[in-house]
Chains A and B, each alone.
Chain A
Amino acid sequence: GNSVTQMEGPVTLSEEAFLTINCTYTATGYPSLFWYVQYPGEGLQLLLKATKADDKGSNKGFEATYRKETTSFHLEKGSVQVSDSAVYFCALEDNAGNMLTFGGGTRLMVKP
């Protein structure tokens, strides 16, 4: 079946550091890929998405590129802020049921 693997956290960075959170997936076909963010005490919010190979999703300074050859969708940001501290989830669309399969989440902590 489909699965999503994310790097385990927590990831602790200083403000203005470069961020990479790795995400790889296993799926049949060409699913859409998503990154969601969960701020403390809140629900998940869509951060960005990509629907086909080589697409780049971007939002709020975050980017991720759909790499079919490496089955990856790594999240990057050039300069993180304290307000980016949250849990980040990589997810893929399950073609069978139009549901999302999530990775285990990666907690990011940014220190001033």
Chain B
Amino acid sequence: DTAVSQTPKYLVTQMGNDKSIKCEQNLGHDTMYWYKQDSKKFLKIMFSYNNKELIINETVPNRFSPKSPDKAHLNLHINSLELGDSAVYFCASSQIDRGFWDGYTFGSGTRLTVV
């Protein structure tokens, strides 16, 4: 199946731990994103990579570090987890061509719960 896939789907962890979320897309897209969705469903962009290069880095604590080993993967590592990090994290991808852009394809999300 062509898709954006995220793992894990659910992640429950204690405060202070370090965790990673992985994202892979097999759509051949050149740009990938991480969004955070809070409990009120509000979506906020965190990072964007184009061909492995960081192009968007919103105001996010530096405990969050994205890593893109190749243009098909964008992982999110979070250090020293805090209660406020509990949210659903969505990965997305898109293909940005001159004169054409068709929005994002989203992964199904990772629900992170920090206890």
Chain A residues packing against B (C-beta within 8 Å): 32, 34, 36, 38, 42-46, 49, 87, 89, 91, 93, 97-102, 104-105, 107
**Can you name 6 extra interface pairs (CB under 8 A) apart from A44-B106, A46-B105, A91-B103?**
A32-B101, A87-B41, A101-B45, A102-B42, A104-B41, A105-B43
In the assembled complex, B94 has its CB within 8 A of some CB on chain A:
yes
A100 to B31, alpha carbons, bound, how many Å?
12
Residues of B within 8 A of A45 (CB): 106
Q: Interface centre among A43, A99, A101, by most B CB within 10 Å?
A: A43
Residues of B within 8 A of A105 (CB): 41-43
Chain A, interface SS category? strand
- The smallest beta-carbon distance between A36 and chain B, in angstroms, is 8
B56's nearest neighbour on chain A, judged by CB, is A97
Q: Please tell me if the beta carbons of A97 and B41 are within 8 angstroms of each other in the complex.
A: no
Residues of B within 8 A of A101 (CB): 45
* Total of A-B residue pairs, C-beta within 8 Å: 55
Q: A46-B103, A87-B41, A105-B42 are in contact. Are A99 and B33 (CB under 8 A)?
A: yes
Chain B residues packing against A (C-beta within 8 Å): 4, 31, 33, 40-43, 45, 48, 55-56, 90, 92, 94, 96, 101-109
Would you mind naming 5 contact pairs between A and B with Cβ atoms under 8 Å apart? A46-B104, A46-B105, A97-B48, A101-B45, A105-B42
Q: Please tell me if the beta carbons of A98 and B43 are within 8 angstroms of each other in the complex.
A: no
Q: Interface centre among A38, A49, A98, by most B CB within 10 Å?
A: A98
- The smallest beta-carbon distance between A41 and chain B, in angstroms, is 8
- The smallest beta-carbon distance between A26 and chain B, in angstroms, is 17
Residues of B within 8 A of A107 (CB): 41
A100 to B94, alpha carbons, bound, how many Å?
10
Closest 5 CB pairs of A and B: A43-B106, A105-B41, A102-B43, A43-B108, A44-B106
Residues of A within 8 A of B92 (CB): 44
Q: Please tell me if the beta carbons of B41 and A99 are within 8 angstroms of each other in the complex.
A: no
